[in-house]
Structure 1
Amino acid sequence: MATAKKQAATATRHVALLRGVNVNGITLKSADLKALFVELGFGAVRTVLASGNVLFDTDESDAAALRTRIEQALRKRFGYDAWIVLLTQKTVAEIAAAYPFERIDEERHPYIVFGSDKAMLDEIMEKAGTVDANTDTERLERGKGVLYWQCPRGESLDTPVAKLLGKARYKSSTTTRNLRTVEKLLAD
């Protein structure tokens, strides 16, 4: 009992953002996803929506090893090329608070592109250089470990930035979430 209390006191709330879940034939049930994280020994596991968002507590401090362990377990259990972006909930809160564009806009959707590889985020920004931050089409701005993106409603797959983000090159290191989804990850 004392060990469980000590672990709970030292545990950090994490957010695992899975890439490509419940699209393109990769279907994971929230209950199965939660069960895997519980089996991995994490506490207070909760899935949010059906788009591959898992909140959990752990006292493990090596983020790279933790990410690798989770990705390997996902691959083994569900049989797909699993990639995640792993952050603390505190970091996600800081990222959401720094969102630079209007949070509620009748014409555009607010997104955050999370990345596990700084060089890939820099490359996306460079390649998206044709996107002017003041245009009516879409906006893109670099943040700490993320890209902040706004695009017209109904066009999140069709804009120049959307097509760039969809390239296979970025599949293993980026995942995009609507700002409202991100805020739901903070409500826990």
Structure 2
Amino acid sequence: MKTHIAILRGINVGGKRKILMADLKLLFQDLGFADIETYIQSGNVVFKAPTSDKLEHLIKKAIQEKYGFEVPTIVRSLNEWEKSISTNPFLSSENEGIERMHLTFLKETPKQENIELAEAFERGNDQLSIVGKDVFLLLEGKYSQSKLSNQFFEKKLKVEATTRNWKTVKKLLEIASKN
């Protein structure tokens, strides 16, 4: 069984689309996954699965059937997660605190013309770097104040997206590495 990390978008935000992490863990058990661990209430799940095939589809479908709403779901293997972390171009920047860094995970690699549209967008002092299925962000202020939101990337890149701050990205690696 291989270790994976699932990141769910838009649950437990403002009291809407509520899923308790204990219930989410049970749902993952019902899907046949093992060594399941959740992190904070925003839909981060580390788990082991016997296969890597169609995990996003299985999880998304199970949530839809149980809760009656759709949740964008992105799953990465531990190896993919490690590669994403090592690829961050902003880690080498001097004096860059992790509180300014975020990683937007994309469902699939966007088309080059869509990448060019996103990169050409006027974004002030916020920086971005698109590498494969990852968008690395180095923001001037808070994520909630940036124009570089999930909706922005979904519109410009035409793929599903969900974002985590760098602290969460690193914590999920820590959990997955123990798993």
TM-score normalised over the length of structure 2: 0.83
The match for 1:38 among 8, 16, 29 is 29
The match for 2:50 among 43, 56, 59 is 59
Q: Which residue of 1 aligns with 2:140?
A: 152
Q: Which residue of 2 aligns with 1:50?
A: 41
CA distance in 1, matches of 2:159, 2:41: 20
Contact kept, 8 Å, 2:109 with 2:133, in 1: the verdict is: yes
1:12 aligns with 2:40: no
1:125-145: CA deviation from partner (whole Å, max 9, x where unpaired): 52341347xx6x210001131
CA distance in 2, matches of 1:102, 1:148: 10
CA distance in 2, matches of 1:180, 1:122: 31
Contact kept, 8 Å, 1:19 with 1:175, in 2: the verdict is: yes
Of 105-114 and 66-75, deviating more is 105-114
Of 106-115 and 66-75, deviating more is 106-115
Q: Tell me, what secondary structure is at the counterpart of 1:91?
A: helix
Contact kept, 8 Å, 1:120 with 1:173, in 2: the verdict is: no
Counterparts in 2 of 1:127 and 1:170: CA distance versus 1, 3 Å: closer
Cα offset, 1:163, TM superposition? 7.5
Q: Tell me, what secondary structure is at the counterpart of 2:100?
A: strand
Question: CA RMSD, aligned part only?
Answer: 2.8
CA distance in 2, matches of 1:107, 1:119: 26
CA distance in 1, matches of 2:74, 2:84: 14
The match for 2:81 among 84, 92, 100 is 92
Q: Which residue of 2 aligns with 1:180?
A: 167
Q: Tell me, what secondary structure is at the counterpart of 1:80?
A: coil
Q: Tell me, what secondary structure is at the counterpart of 2:139?
A: strand
Number of aligned positions between the proteins: 172
Q: Which residue of 2 aligns with 1:77?
A: 66
The match for 1:105 among 93, 96, 99 is 96
Cα offset, 1:59, TM superposition? 1.6
Task: Among all aligned residue pairs of Structure 1 and Structure 2, give the percentage whose two residues are the same amino acid.
Answer: 25
Structure 1: 5+ residue stretches without partners: 1-10
1:117 aligns with 2:96: no
CA distance in 1, matches of 2:99, 2:45: 26
CA distance in 2, matches of 1:85, 1:170: 16
Structure 2: 5+ residue stretches without partners: none
Q: Which residue of 2 aligns with 1:3?
A: none
Counterparts in 2 of 1:169 and 1:68: CA distance versus 1, 3 Å: farther
1:153-188: CA deviation from partner (whole Å, max 9, x where unpaired): 33x123232385376787971100111101111112
